[in-house]
Amino acid sequence: MAKSAKMQLVELIDTALSNKTISKAEVVALTKAQEGLSKHQSDTMIASKLKTELSLLGAQQKLSPQLVDLLTWLSKSYLGWGRRGMGITNLFV
């Protein structure tokens, strides 16, 4: 059985946080995402915010090579709030 995107997100964040070579800004972004997931917030919203924060670090050339794979996975797995069906119907899922 395939893992859900949310379960994969939790695992990837945990793995990234265990890496001691990432920057403080990356740790802060990952910790915020981890806390949101532990409070049962929407994984789509958390992924979108994390993707934005990591993309900004990437644009500034401050993103660790270890997190490039995470950012790529986020971009493939979470297409964002603009996709069809992400309106009010998402509240009832």
Q: Structure tokens of 35?
A: 């806390």
Q: For residue 18, what are the contacts with CB-CB under 8 A and spacing of at least 6?
A: none
pLDDT for position 3? 74
* Helices vs strands, H then E, count in the chain: 4, 0
**Residue 2: pLDDT band by 50, 70, 90 thresholds?**
low
Q: Is residue 53 part of a domain?
A: yes
The parent domain of residue 49 ranges over 5-78
Q: Is residue 48 part of a domain?
A: yes
Q: Is residue 85 part of a domain?
A: no
The total number of residues shown for the chain amounts to 93
Q: Is residue 30 part of a domain?
A: yes
Q: Is residue 93 part of a domain?
A: no
Domain count, the chain: 1
**pTM (predicted TM-score):** 0.81
Q: Is residue 35 part of a domain?
A: yes
